Amino acid sequence: SSADKGGWSSFMAKEIAEQPDAIANTLRGRIVEGAVEIPELGSLGPDILKDIDRIVIIACGTAAYAASTAKYAIEAWARVPVDVELSHEFRYRTPVLSARTLLISVSQSGETMDTLMAVKYARDAGVKTLSVCNTQSATIPRESDGVIYTHAGPEVAVASTKAFVAQIVALYLFGLHLGTVRGTLSTEGLHDMTRQLLALPEKLAEVLEVTDTVRQLAHWMADTRSVLFLGRHVGYPIALEGALKLKEISYIHAEGFAAGELKHGPIALIEPGQPVFVVVPSPRSSAELHSKIVSNIQEIRARGARVIAIAEKGDAAVLPFADEVIPVPLAEPLIQPLLSVVPLQLFALELSTAKGLDVDQPRNLAKSVTVE
Ligand code: G6P
């Protein structure tokens, strides 16, 4: 009923707007005096975490893009190699595992059958398992050695939004904890990152201010047949997630690419008028990263692409080359994806709405896929 939607036009609209609160809840009680505390890790104590030599994160759909985003941060802070795999691809190919592998599953529902089967498979192979889950006492956390609940609140819309950002934040908290336990992260680095995380709810509230701009863009693009999304580094999984959101609820053909792959194929798709969203890394990322994406924008622009840049407020280098700039608040490079995904969520929502589609219940999809 509309009452459950709290006055919003859809659950998705409501859940997008709830992201500042969702993240405040994910963080609540877990940052104490600048350090991270996750008591729910169960048997996965410091002795075990010190000893792991590899992390495999498994998930499906949006949760897999949350995992891919967190890979950059966990590797940077804990210096452990992280592989992200789709649960169903992991499960059916006799993966190489050892007692020093940590398997992390990410699932909003905690009931996705592909992910559950992969967790059981790993557990039976003697691998330690950690679950990142949004649903209290769901099956996957019950089958795992430890669990980090995302506490984002119930998510009703099929297209995942607040659970996605909460999954990244939960994985970041784990990465900071792991880096602390393993001694790979300085106290200063830890304090800096926890400060950034605590500032995130406010920045998420700020980025929601682009809603009207994005709505206009979506109305103007309602007849578009295909939309491309480009990103680099942490912006790459965000580009993939932006494309997934659009496919899921607006049924428009959408593809996400690593910007570095452009010249290896996707640039052939660019023809005059082709809309391309570009997730521009923070100018405080490495200078190479930022200038590379600016030249990618120039390359597609020269071939007639219509460029919509998701860029940090005040990023002057992007302005001359973009048709539209959607500004996101200033944030450290690893925090930025949590903000730059929001305009892409809003774009999918507004485009689906402009087309008169059922935003919350897209055709052929289920919120939780409980069959393999
Ligand atoms: C379904 C949903 C997606 C979701 C995926 C994984 O496909 O439609 O929105 O990302 O399942 O769900 P989970 O509950 O495991 O995060």
Q: From residue 147, how far is each of 108, 130, 360 by CA, in Å?
A: 12, 5, 28
User: Are 201 and 24 within 8 A, CB to CB?
Assistant: yes
Portion of the chain with pLDDT greater than 90, in percent? 95
Atom in ligand 1 nearest the alpha carbon of residue 59: 15
Average per-residue pLDDT in the chain? Answer: 96
Residue 63 in contact with ligand 1 by CB distance below 6 A: yes
- Per mean pLDDT, which range of 12-21, 154-163, 362-371 is the poorest? 362-371
Q: How far is the CA of 273 from the centre of ligand 1 (A)?
A: 32
Q: From residue 8, how far is each of 15, 171, 348, 360 by CA, in Å?
A: 9, 29, 16, 12
Angle (nearest 5°) at CA 120 between 118 and 125: 95
Atom 3 of ligand 1: nearest residue by CA position: 61
Q: For residue 36, what are the contacts with CB-CB under 8 A and spacing of at least 6?
A: 30, 173, 176, 177, 180, 190, 194
pLDDT for the residue 292: 93
pLDDT for the residue 288: 86
Residue 345 in contact with ligand 1 by CB distance below 6 A: no
pLDDT tens-digit readout, 77-102: 999 999 999 999 999 999 999 999 99
By C-alpha distance, which of 29, 36, 43, 37 is closest to 146? 43
Atom in ligand 1 nearest the alpha carbon of residue 61: 10
SS3 10: coil
How much is the average pLDDT of 20-40? 96
pLDDT for the residue 3: 60
Axis crossing angle, helix 162-182 with helix 19-27, rounded to the nearest 10: 30
Residue 115 in contact with ligand 1 by CB distance below 6 A: yes
Q: From residue 44, how far is each of 16, 162, 212, 249 by CA, in Å?
A: 33, 27, 45, 38
Residue 142 pLDDT class (50, 70, 90 cuts): very high
By C-alpha distance, which of 66, 357, 114 is closest to 237? 66
Burial of residue 244 (CB within 10 Å: 0-12, 13-18, 19+) is buried
Atom in ligand 1 nearest the alpha carbon of residue 60: 6
Q: How far is the CA of 17 from the centre of ligand 1 (A)?
A: 20
pLDDT for the residue 371: 87
Q: Alpha helices of the chain — where are they, by DSSP H?
A: 11-17, 19-27, 46-51, 62-78, 87-91, 113-124, 139-142, 162-182, 187-198, 200-207, 211-220, 235-250, 287-302, 336-354
Sheet with 54-59, edge to edge strand ranges: 82-86, 54-59, 101-107, 128-133, 146-149
Q: What is the ipTM of this complex?
A: 0.96
How much is the average pLDDT of 51-67? 98
- Cα gap 19→39, rounded to integer Å: 24
User: Are 220 and 52 within 8 A, CB to CB?
Assistant: no
pLDDT for the residue 1: 56
pLDDT for the residue 223: 93
Position 165 pLDDT exceeds 90: yes
Q: How far is the CA of 370 from the centre of ligand 1 (A)?
A: 10
Q: How far is the CA of 152 from the centre of ligand 1 (A)?
A: 15
User: Are 28 and 153 within 8 A, CB to CB?
Assistant: no
Q: What is the dihedral of CA 31, 35, 41, 43, to 10 degrees?
A: -150
pLDDT tens-digit readout, 261-294: 999 999 999 999 999 999 999 888 777 899 999 9
pLDDT for the residue 283: 84
| 313 in active site | no
**Both tokens of residue 181?**
């336990």
Residue 54 pLDDT class (50, 70, 90 cuts): very high
Residue 2 pLDDT class (50, 70, 90 cuts): low
User: Are 210 and 327 within 8 A, CB to CB?
Assistant: yes
Residue 369 in contact with ligand 1 by CB distance below 6 A: yes
Atom 5 of ligand 1: nearest residue by CA position: 61
pLDDT tens-digit readout, 169-226: 999 999 999 999 999 999 999 999 999 999 999 999 999 999 999 999 999 999 999 9
Cβ count near 349 (within 10 Å): 29
Atom 7 of ligand 1: nearest residue by CA position: 61
Ligand 1 mutation target, pool 143, 364, 368, 371, most atoms within 8 A of CB: 368
pLDDT for the residue 341: 98
Q: For 344, which DSSP code?
A: H
Q: How far is the CA of 87 from the centre of ligand 1 (A)?
A: 12
pLDDT tens-digit readout, 317-345: 999 999 999 999 999 999 999 999 999 99
By C-alpha distance, which of 177, 181, 204 is closest to 193? 177
Q: From residue 130, how far is each of 35, 40, 95, 122, 123 by CA, in Å?
A: 20, 10, 18, 11, 10
Q: How far is the CA of 109 from the centre of ligand 1 (A)?
A: 7
Query: Could you tell me whether strands 101-107 and 54-59 are parallel, antiparallel, or unpaired per DSSP bridges?
Result: parallel
What's the per-residue H, E or C state across 231-245? Answer: ECCCHHHHHHHHHHH
pLDDT tens-digit readout, 220-264: 999 999 999 999 999 999 999 999 999 999 999 999 999 999 999
